[in-house]
Amino acid sequence: MQTAYTVLILLTLVGVSRLLARLIPLPLPLVQIAAGALLAWPTLGLHVALDPELFLFLFLPPLLFSDGWRMPKRDLWRYRGPILTMAVGLVIFTVIGAGYFIHWLLPSIPLPVAFALAAVLSPTDAVAVSAIAQDRLPAPIMRMLQGEALMNDASGLVTFKFALAAAITGVFSLTDASLTFVLVACGGLAVGVVLSWLVGRFRSWMITRGWDDPATHVVFMLLLPFAAYVLAERLEVSGILSAVAAGMMQSWVDLLPRQTSTRLLNRSVWTLLEFAFNGLIFLLLGLQLPDIITAVTHHEVTLWPTLLWRCLDVLAIFVVLAVLRYVWVRSVWRLMVQVRRWRGRGDGSLELSARSSLLLTVGGVRGAVTLAGTLSVPMLIAAGVEFPERDLLIFIAAGVILLSLVSASVCLPLLLRGLVSEPDLRLKREVRDAWKRTAQAAIQTLENEQIPGATGEADAAQAVLATEVKSRIMSEYRHRLEIFNDTAEAQALAFQMDQLEKRMRINALRAQRLELYSLHRHRLIGDDVLRIVLAELDLNEANLGVVK
C-alpha cells in the first residue's frame, strides 16, 4: 500500500504544481523540482527508490513516442539541414569535447564514463523551452529546437549506451562501433515503422468490422511505444529510435476514416500522459536531490566545502557545454550559408544573427530525457564491483539540468525583449486556404445532393424538408466563406458577426448546462443522461473556440 500512496501523492503534486506555476513566476519544471525537494525534506521524509532499468522503460518510450507523434513533419523536412547538424553533429562534437573536459576536470571519472556522461547531457527538452519562452520564440527557431530535441534524444541516448557498454566491458573500437551504430539505428527505425504500420492496419480492419470503440483503440496506442521499445531491444536494435519512429509513423497511420471520436480521446489521453510523466520525472529529480547530495559527499569529512567544489565542477561543465553549443551553431551555420552561396542558392534565408545564435544556445535546455538516461546507469559493473562515480554522474546531470533551466529562465526573456514575435503568416494562410477549400467542397457536395422526387404527398413533404435543411447548411458554409473574403472591410464585418454569434451560442450552451444541472439536482434525469448530454454540450462549446 505504501507504493500506491506514494504514486497518488506524486500525481496529486503534479497537478498542484501546475496551479502553483500560475502564481509563482517560475517555469513549471523548476516548481516541480522544488516541490519534490521539499517533499524529500527530513521533516516530511518521502523517499522513492528507483530501479534504473524500470525507470528507463517506464518513462522514455511514451515520451519519445509522443515527441515523434507531435513533431510537424513538414517543418522537420524544411529545416532538415540545421536540425541534423545539431541533432547528430552537435551530439558527437559535445561527446568528444565535453567528454575530454570532464575527464580532465575530474580524473576519478574514467574517459569512457566521461563520454557516457557527455552523451546523456546532449539531449535537449523543447517542452521546457516552450514553457519558459511562452510562445514568444520565432517560429523557425522553435521548430529547429523541437526537431533537434526529437532527434538528439535518440542520437544522444544511443551514443550513451555505446559509451556505457565501453565503460563496462573496457573494449571499444571506432570502426565496429560506427558500423554497429548504423545497424542498430536503422534496425530500430525499421522495427518502429513496421510495427506502427501493422497496428494501423489492424485498427483499420477492426473499424471495417464495426469494432470502433474509441477506448479500445486508445489502449492499443498506449501500448504501442512500449511494444516497439521491447521488440526492438529483444532484436538487439535501438528501442529508443523504435519508439520515435513508431510515433512518427502513427501520426500518418492515425488519419483513418470514422475515427473522429477516437482521435479526440487519444489526444486528450496523450496530453494527460505527457504532462503527468514529465511532471513525475522532475518531481523525482527533486525527491532524489537530498540523496544525490548525501551520496556525493558521504566520503568527505566536511560537507559544505566539498559541496561547493562539486557545484563549481557542475558550473564549469555547464559553461563548456554552452560554449561548445554556441561555437557549433555559429560555425556550422556559416559553413551552410557558404555552401549555399557556392551552389548559387544564397538567398539570405539562412542568415543567422547573433541574437538567434544565442537563442539557439540558451534554448538547449536539458530535461527529462537526460535525467532518465542518467538514472538508468547500472549500480554495478560486475558482481561486487560498483559502477565508477555513479553518484557523481547523477549529481552532475541534475546540476546541469537545474542550471540550464535557470539560465533559460533568466536569459530567454532578456534575449526576447524588444523582439516582436511575428505571426506565422504561412501557417495562417494555409489554414485560411484549407477552410475555404473545405467549405467550397461542402457547398458543392450539397448542391449536387439529390432531393427525392415528389410522387406523393409524403414524398412532397420530405422533399420540402430536405430542401430547407440543405439551404440552412449551405448558408452556414457560405457565411464561413465570407470570413475569408479578400477585402479588409468584409473580413472585419464578418469577424464581428462571427464573434457575436459565438457569444450568443456560448451563452445559450451555458444556459443549457445550468438547466441540465438543475434537472439532475431535482432527480429528473439520471447520471447516464447527464453524462451524454453534458459531453455533447462541452464538445459544441469547445468547437466554438476562443471568443475575443
Rg (CA), the chain: 28
Q: Which three cell numbers stand for residue 44?
A: 516530511
Q: Please check whether residue 40 is in contact with residue 290, taking contact to mean a CB–CB distance below 8 angstroms.
A: yes
What grid cell was written down for 15? 497537478
Per the DSSP assignment, residues forming a β-bridge with 380 are: 386
Q: Which residue has the higher pLDDT, 367 or 195?
A: 195
DSSP state string for 476-523: HHHHHHHHT-SSHHHHHHHHHHHHHHHHHHHHHHHHHHHHHHHHHHTT
Distance of alpha carbon 238 from the chain centroid = 20
Q: Grid coordinates in use for 137? A: 520564440
In this prediction the pTM is 0.73
Residue 469 in grid coordinates: 435543411
Q: Lowest-pLDDT range, 120-124, 148-152, 357-361, 409-413?
A: 148-152
For residue 134, is it left (φ>0), alpha (ψ between -120 and 50) or beta?
left
Query: What distance in Å separates the CA atoms of residue 72 and residue 143, rounded to the nearest whole number?
Result: 8
Largest CA distance in the chain: 101
CA–CA separation, 357 vs 325, rounded Å?
Answer: 9
Handedness of CA 395, 396, 398, 402 (dihedral sign): positive
pLDDT digits over 5-19, tens only?
778 888 888 888 888
Q: CA–CA separation, 500 vs 494, rounded Å?
A: 10
Nearest to 116 by CA among 491, 377, 290, 447: 377
Top-confidence residue, 177 or 35: 35
For the chain, the average pLDDT equals 78
The pLDDT of residue 257 is: 47
pLDDT band for position 223 (50/70/90)?
very high
**Residue 216 CB coordination number (10 Å):** 12
Q: Is 383 helix (H, G, I), strand (E, B) or coil?
A: coil
Q: Which cell goes with 136? A: 514568444
Write out the three cell numbers for 447: 448542391
| Long-range own/partner contacts, residues 390-394 (CB < 8 A, 24 or more apart) | 391/292, 391/295, 391/296, 392/106, 392/108, 392/109, 392/296, 392/310, 393/109, 393/113, 393/116, 393/117, 394/288, 394/292, 394/295
CA atoms within 13 A of residue 510's CA, in its CB half-sphere = 7
Nearest CA to 154 among 119, 111, 180?
Answer: 119
Residue 50 exposure: Cα atoms within 13 Å on the Cβ side = 26
**3-state SS, residue 436:** helix
| Phi/psi of residue 27, nearest 5 degrees | -60, 150
Portion of the chain with pLDDT greater than 90, in percent: 9
Q: What is the dihedral of CA 317, 318, 324, 326, to 10 degrees?
A: -160
d(CA 260, CA 249): 19
Report the range of poorest mean pLDDT among 298-307, 366-375, 424-433: 424-433
CB count in 10 Å sphere of residue 179: 11
The larger pLDDT score, comparing residue 293 to residue 95, is at: 95
Cell digits of residue 104: 580532465
- Is pLDDT of 420 > 60? no
In the chain the first and final C-alpha atoms are separated, in Å, by 49
Question: What pLDDT was estimated at residue 458?
Answer: 56
d(C-alpha 407, C-alpha 415), whole Å: 12
Tell me the C-alpha distance between 122 and 322, whole Å. 11
For residue 205, the Cα-to-chain-centroid distance in whole angstroms is: 30
Cα–Cα distance measured from residue 238 to residue 160, given in angstroms and rounded to the nearest whole number: 12
DSSP bridge partners of 382: 385
Sign of CA dihedral 80, 85, 89, 93: negative
Q: Quote the Cα angle for 351-354-359, to 5°.
A: 100
Over residues 262-313, the pLDDT tens digits come to 777 777 888 888 888 888 878 887 887 887 787 777 766 676 787 888 889 9
Contact 350, 337 (CB under 8 A): yes
User: Which residues are within 8 A (CB) of 529 and not within 5 positions of it... i.e. 6 or more apart?
Assistant: none
Confidence of residue 112 (pLDDT cuts 50, 70, 90): confident
Considering Cα of 531, then 532, then 537, then 542, what sign does the dihedral take? Answer: positive
Cell 558482481 locates to: 383
Average pLDDT over residues 402-427: 74
